[in-house]
């Protein structure tokens, strides 16, 4: 009960800070992240209540729609909106392609004759969105992010009637007998197959977007050059797109010593450690959830708590003006803590 309660508090604080920042700056990515963090908090709150009073069908439905469907998708949407004016669209197109492929593979494990056709429909739609995002990115058209976020909104909205109309067999919920964590076994395939689409594309967008931002803002050593200039010849562009993942990885690794030197000298851009924390906040829960599915259940709740805390810390590390944190009750202690961390005596 304690771990999901702490997860809910951290995620709710993260959401409140984002809403407060959105009221001041009006950046769409802040609102999208706030939606994802709120969904994260609602799912953790449902698990907390279930630990205290037992599971019920309403709690089970709330957990699924908020945690399994909405959280990762909207956190990823926030990253997309943040990186709208960059070439991150190529990476997100790949995220969508992988999500569609994984959805087809998941359908093969479901014992329902309708799962295969539903998964194929979802995958074809996702691959179509992937092509559109990649093509607009190639053209330098920033509207690729509208397609990406619109796709997330469409799937999120589709999940609502599917959840409301779903008839669940008694007792109306299902949990892992070892961890007590809820599982989606009772839900129809049309709803369950939305989860890999939103979770994989959203989590990968959050993780790779954070790594992309680290690469952009860190001091770089370009050991392996490449170009994403759409004005180059078609064969050159295709070659550069193919080697870009390798080139970025090599340049990233070779640049780490420069980043460490800048950090020790106090000249490292604040966004680098902030986005590193956000990347860890996306990676840790994904890792512990994967371990949970393979039988290693002891770190499941701890991973979600670590994820929510790391996301919160990443946000706080990115704040440029400490006085902008104005939340009632917690604003003053947070401002003081950040001031002491940045200006130790």
Distance (Å) of CA 277 to CA 204, 235, 281: 15, 38, 6
* Cβ-based neighbours of 210, under 8 Å, separated by 6 or more: 79, 275, 276, 278, 279, 282, 314
End-to-end CA distance of the chain: 38
DSSP codes joined into one string, 69-118? IIHHHHHHHHHHHHTTTTTHHHHHHHHHHHHHHHHHHHHTTS--TTHHHH
Q: Which residues of 151-174 are buried (b: 16+ CB within 10 A; e: fewer)?
A: bbeebbeebeebbeeeeeeeeebb
Q: What pLDDT band is residue 252 in, cutting at 50, 70 and 90?
A: confident
* Owner of token pair 């539903």: 118
Q: Is 59 helix (H, G, I), strand (E, B) or coil?
A: helix
pLDDT tens, position by position, 298-336:
677 788 889 888 888 888 777 665 556 666 556 666 666
Q: Give the confidence band of 101 by pLDDT, cuts at 50, 70, 90.
A: very high
From residue 230, give the alpha-carbon distance in Å to each of 35, 212, 284: 34, 19, 36
Provide the pLDDT confidence category of residue 81 given band limits of 50, 70 and 90. very high
The whole-angstrom separation of Cα 135 and Cα 116 is: 28
- The helix (H) or strand (E) run that includes residue 4 is helix 2-25
Band of residue 154 on the pLDDT scale cut at 50, 70, 90:
very high
Q: How large a percentage of the chain has pLDDT more than 90? A: 26
Contact predicate 223/252, CB 8 Å: no
pLDDT of residue 233 exceeding 80, the answer is no
Question: Is the pLDDT higher at 101 or at 294?
Answer: 101
More confident call, 264 vs 36: 36
The answer for residues whose C-beta is within 8 angstroms of residue 10's C-beta and 6 or more apart is 305, 308, 309, 311, 312
Which residue is associated with the tokens 């990186």? 83
- How far apart (Å, rounded) are the C-alpha atoms in residues 126 and 17? 32
Burial of 234 (0-12, 13-18, 19+ CB in 10 A): exposed
pTM reported for the whole predicted model: 0.84
Indicate if the pLDDT at residue 44 is higher than 70.
Answer: yes
Q: Phi and psi at residue 51, in whole multiples of 5°?
A: -65, -30
Overall average pLDDT of the 73-102 stretch = 91
Residue 56 phi/psi, 5-degree rounding, is: -140, 165
The rounded mean pLDDT for the chain is 83
pLDDT of 324 reads 60
120 burial type by CB count under 10 A (0-12 exposed, 13-18 middle, 19+ buried): middle
Residue 80 pLDDT: 93
CB neighbours of residue 332 within 10 Å: 12
Average pLDDT over residues 273-285: 82
């Amino acid at each position: 009960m304690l771990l999901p309660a702490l997860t809910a508090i951290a995620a709710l604080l993260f959401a409140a800070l984002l809403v407060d920042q959105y009221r001041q700056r009006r950046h769409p990515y802040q609102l999208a992240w706030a939606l994802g963090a709120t969904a994260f908090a609602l799912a953790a709150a449902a698990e907390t209540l279930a630990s205290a009073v037992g599971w019920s069908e309403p709690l089970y439905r709330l957990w699924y729609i908020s945690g399994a469907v909405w959280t990762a998708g909207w956190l990823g949407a926030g990253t997309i909106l943040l990186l709208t004016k960059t070439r991150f669209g190529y990476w997100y197109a790949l995220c969508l392609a992988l999500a569609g492929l994984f959805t087809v593979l998941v359908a093969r494990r479901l014992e329902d004759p309708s799962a295969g056709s539903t998964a194929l429909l979802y995958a074809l739609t996702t691959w179509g969105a992937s092509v559109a995002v990649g093509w607009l990115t190639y053209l330098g058209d920033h509207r690729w992010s509208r397609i990406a976020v619109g796709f997330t909104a469409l799937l999120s909205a589709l999940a609502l009637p599917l959840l409301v109309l779903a008839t669940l067999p008694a007792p109306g919920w299902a949990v892992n007998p070892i961890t007590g964590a809820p599982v989606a076994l009772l839900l129809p395939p049309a709803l369950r197959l939305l989860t890999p689409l939103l979770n994989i594309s959203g989590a990968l967008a959050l993780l790779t977007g954070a790594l992309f931002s680290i690469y952009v803002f860190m001091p770089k050593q370009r050991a392996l050059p490449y170009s994403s200039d759409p004005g180059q010849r078609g064969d050159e562009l295709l070659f550069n797109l193919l080697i870009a993942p390798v080139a970025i990885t090599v340049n990233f690794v070779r640049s780490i010593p420069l980043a460490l030197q800048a950090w020790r000298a106090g000249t490292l851009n604040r966004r680098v450690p902030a986005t590193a924390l956000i990347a860890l906040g996306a990676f840790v829960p994904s890792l512990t959830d994967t371990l949970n599915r393979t039988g290693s259940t002891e770190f499941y709740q701890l991973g979600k708590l670590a994820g929510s805390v790391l996301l919160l810390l990443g946000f706080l590390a990115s704040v440029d003006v400490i006085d902008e944190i104005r939340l009632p009750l917690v604003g003053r202690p947070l401002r003081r803590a950040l001031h002491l961390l940045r200006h130790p005596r």
